[in-house]
Structure formats: C-alpha cells, structure tokens
Amino acid sequence: MSQPAGPGAPLARRGPGSSRSRCPGPSGGRPRVPGTGRPPDAGYGARVAAKDGVDLEIAGRVVRLSSPDKVLFAGRAETKRDLLAYYLAVGEAVMRAMGGRPVLMQRFPHGAAGPSFFQKRVPDRRPDWLETTTVTTPNGTRSQALVIADLAHVAWAVNLGCLGFHVWPYRAADAPFVDELRIDLDPQPGVGFEEAREAARETEALLGELGIRGFPKTTGNRGIHVFVRLAPRWEATDVRAAAVALARELARRRPDLLTDAWWKEQRGERVFVDFNQNAPHKTVFGAWSVRARDGAQVSMPLRWEDLDDVDPEACTIDRVPQLVAERGDPWAAIDDEPQSIEPLLAWFRRDLDAGIPDAPWPPVYPKMPGEPPRVAPSRARRRG
C-alpha cells in the first residue's frame, strides 16, 4: 500500500488548454493486488472457472477472492481484483473514514450495470474472525451488520460483489452516540454539480462562522457531502436537529440556491439540504466508496481548496490511488479535533421557541413529537 505523503498540493489545478483540471491519472497503470494476472479481456459480468481464485493475506487474515477477473465495470473493463486493489491502495484513508463502523452492503453479483440488492444482515456462513454489531431499523428490526474492523473485512465484502459501502454515523464501540454530522447537498432536477459546488461554499462559510470544521467529499455522482466529525456525546435525534437548523439557515441565506423543503413539489431547481440523512438508523454512502457506474467513480474526499477545480467524473479507481500517494489523505486531520453541534442545537431551540415546528420525518418513521402534519402541501390544500 502506498504511504500517504504529507499535506500536499490541492487536488486539482487549472492548467493551460483546459477549462477545469481533473483527478490526475496514475503513471504506473492500475493498482494491483498480489497474485494478479493478465489484464482482463472478458466481457461484462463474465464468469471464470470456479477454481480460478486467489487467497490473499490482508491485515493478518486470509481472504479468498473468487472469480478475480470477473468484469465489474463494463465501461472500463475493470474487474473484482481491480476493485480490491483500489481499496488496498487507499486503505489507510479508508480505515480513517469508516474503520470500526457498521456498514450496509449493496451487492452487485453481475457487475455495476446489473441488478443489486442491499444486505444489512451478514450471511450465516462467514469467517470466524468477521466482526459484526447489532443495528436496528426504525420499526425495531435487529440485524447483525458488518463492521469495518480492518481491510480484510473490506476485502471480504468486495468478494461478495459489494462495490461501495453505506456507513452508519457511529463507531460500533460507541453506539448509540453519533460522531458524524452528514450534510447532504443534493442537486434537484435542473441543477447539477456546479450548483452543489456553490452550495458547499455557502456551507463552508456558515460552519466557519460557528467555529465548526467540516470536510467535503464528492458523492461519486452529482452532489457533495460535508462531514463534521463529532465528539461522541449526542444521539441521532440531536444530530438530526442540528442538521435541520443548518439546512434552514442555509435556505434563509441563499433561497435562490438552497432549499430545506422536505416535499419535492416545493424544492424547485435548487440544491436540497437533506437533513433527514441524519435521522436515526440512516446510512450515507461512504468516503472512498465506489459507485455502481461504468466509470467506477469514487466518493472522493477533498480539501476545501480542491473544491473549485475538482471534476467528480474524473475521480475513478484507477486515478485516485496515485493522487493519494502523491498528496496524502485530504481527511487526514478529521479526528484531530472533534466538533460540537451546540451552536446548531441552539438555533433549533430558537426556532421552536419562535413557533417553528420540527421538520417532517421520512415516512418509515413513526410520528415524532413536535412534527408538523406529514402531508404534502398540495394534498393538504385539497383536503382543506
């Protein structure tokens, strides 16, 4: 695994002859795990003989990688072994982002373009060393979920066809205390990444006024996430309340760009600040995780100075490892100073005192104290 350099140059810079610089490509080709063979030439979802597998020693454990040359990303002919090589190449950063956390696996047995299913409960047939923890759904259903205890656990999931990880906002050892506020800047139809980029700048400024440090990342698609690593003092309902307060303040300041409207009919062509991504039991697509797209785009952590120039389409599994090797992990300092959400909770209480109720919750949750009627405005008017 490449050792990260110290804090280095920004992620991408504008250069002559291009309107926006991109994640640079590696000079040495794709990252490879031990036991790699010829470059893949099989078609999408192609299967290889059952005996075609490799045993890998990862984090002191032996992990079986079956059908390693099975193509997972048709657009780039990248295989299961290429995907694992990517995760190992950025392994230190992966563990910093989601180490010790339970994850929801989304499995793609036939590759990124094929059907998928979510798997919260780990299979009964699993290695003795596999770490799990109990997670619950809003209706109280309990499951044993995978914990990313080390890179062998990542490899085990990759072998099952898991491309990326949907991560809980707490470490298994600290449950039920949440240690991440996740700010999801979600472009609505009619707007895209450029508007999300501007929304992230507004978020950075607002957090800065409150003395809160956030860490941005691309989502691997059209949006941007900003994560705030917290001291494990608050439960999920508190963190969601902080997210509601932040979303409302952003929408007040930039109603032309940002909205906190839960109902889609009210959002317009703006960036939605999805506060309910912080509701209890919710997961968010993890940093460094790979999207199920033909280009194998990564949810790429950034430094704030990277934001203006990054091209999220160019941050792919063949380019990101070299980037990290040369410039280090943009989130290297995320655990250095756990942040407080007390300023945001004060805003939430201020709004309650002013007669502004809590924001609506997702439909899978029971009716919550202080929540307004869970009815879309257009339906409420028809009923009236």
In tens, the pLDDT along 26-39 reads 444 566 554 444 33
pLDDT of residue 21 exceeding 70, the answer is no
Q: Could you list the residue range(s) of the whole structural domain that residue 208 is in?
A: 178-282+337-356
Domain count, the chain: 2
- Beta-strand ranges (E) seen in the chain are 53-58, 61-66, 71-73, 78-79, 102-107, 117-119, 132-136, 142-147, 162-167, 178-187, 215-218, 224-234, 258-259, 271-273, 284-285
**Are residues 73 and 151 located together in one domain of the fold?**
yes
306 located within any domain: no
User: What does the pLDDT read at residue 223?
Assistant: 98
Q: Which residue has the higher pLDDT, 155 or 8?
A: 155
Q: Count Cβ atoms below 10 Å from residue 134 Cβ, excluding itself.
A: 11
Does 318 reside within a domain?
no
- Give the total residue count for the chain: 384
Say if residues 104 and 169 touch (Cβ distance below 8 Å).
no
Domain assignment of residue 255, yes or no: yes
pLDDT tens digits, residue range 116-172? 999 999 999 999 999 999 999 888 899 999 999 999 999 999 999 999 999 999 999
CB atoms within 10 A of CB 251: 18
**Residue 315 located in a structural domain:** no
Tens-place pLDDT, residues 221-265: 999 999 999 999 999 999 999 999 999 999 999 999 999 999 999
Mean pLDDT value across residues 304-326: 97
Quick one: 142 and 215 in the same domain?
A: no
- pLDDT in the model for residue 30: 63
pLDDT (tens digit per residue) in 202-225? 999 999 999 999 999 999 999 999
Non-local (6+) Cβ contacts of 171 within 8 A are: 100, 101, 179, 232
Q: Are residues 141 and 218 in the same domain?
A: no
CATH number of residue 111's parent domain: 3.90.920.10
Give the model's pLDDT for residue 312.
97
Q: In the structure encoding, which two tokens stand for residue 250, read together? A: 């952003």
On whether both 100 and 238 belong to a single domain, the answer is no
Predicted confidence band of residue 344 (pLDDT cuts 50, 70, 90): very high
Within 13 A of 347's CA, how many CA atoms are on the CB side? 19
pLDDT, tens digit (0-9, with 9 covering 90-100), for 260-312: 999 999 999 999 999 999 999 999 999 999 999 999 999 999 999 999 999 99
- Stretch among 34-38, 172-176, 195-199 having the lowest mean pLDDT: 34-38
Residues 345 and 252 in one domain: yes
Note the pLDDT of residue 140.
87
Question: To which residue do tokens 């059908």 refer?
Answer: 67
146 with 70, same domain: the answer is: yes
